[in-house]
Amino acid sequence: TSKSAIADSDERFGNFVYQLPVAAGGVFTARLRFCPIDVTGQQPADGASNVLDVYLNGSTLLDNFALPPLGTQSHSCIVKQFTGLKSNAQGKLIFSFVPTQGYASVNSIAIDEE
């Protein structure tokens, strides 16, 4: 069964956390979809990319990941897939999005049990 934290047409940005309840003892695949940010004022002032770190239950999934630059077409979204994920002791997958330059952003999170 697939669970989504946010829909493809949505976007969350800044510094944020998703706590997703999952079946205890399960093993999961997560797909994180990143698209160019198009909200005014989100791009770093020097035109550089927005860069972020992504953590799952405190462990690094992505380190210094550069988001697709503003002005690219919507088909240039990037999907990152992670397999073999396990919940924490409380039965949750906790994703933390931490900006290192500009803003962190994600357009969708899909979770499937393996």
7 against 71, higher pLDDT: 71
Q: pTM of the entire structure?
A: 0.80
Closest C-alpha to 11, from 104, 91, 100: 104
Please, what sign has the CA dihedral across residues 20, 14, 63, 8?
positive
36-55: pLDDT as tens digits: 765 545 554 555 678 899 99
The tens digit of pLDDT for each residue in 83-110 reads: 999 999 999 999 999 999 888 888 889 9
Q: What is the 8-class DSSP label of residue 26? A: -
- Mean pLDDT within 58-76: 79
- Beta strands 59-66 and 12-14 are unpaired
